[in-house]
Amino acid sequence: MLGLPDASVWLAYLLSIGGAILCIVYGAVYWNRDD
């Protein structure tokens, strides 16, 4: 995957990007929410 043979590393690579996407989606969905 992505030139990285070991799952323990490509998973971290993808989860880093996934984590940033989670933050973007959360921020966009709750943009105007004051809870």
Residues in touch with another protein (CB under 8 A): 2-6, 8-9, 12-13, 15-17, 19-24, 26-28, 30-35
Q: Shortest Cβ distance from residue 30 to another protein (Å)?
A: 4
Amino acid at site 2: L
Is the C-alpha dihedral spanning 21, 22, 28, 34 positive or negative? Answer: negative
Q: Shortest Cβ distance from residue 31 to another protein (Å)?
A: 6
Contact 2, 10 (CB under 8 A): yes
Q: Shortest Cβ distance from residue 17 to another protein (Å)?
A: 7
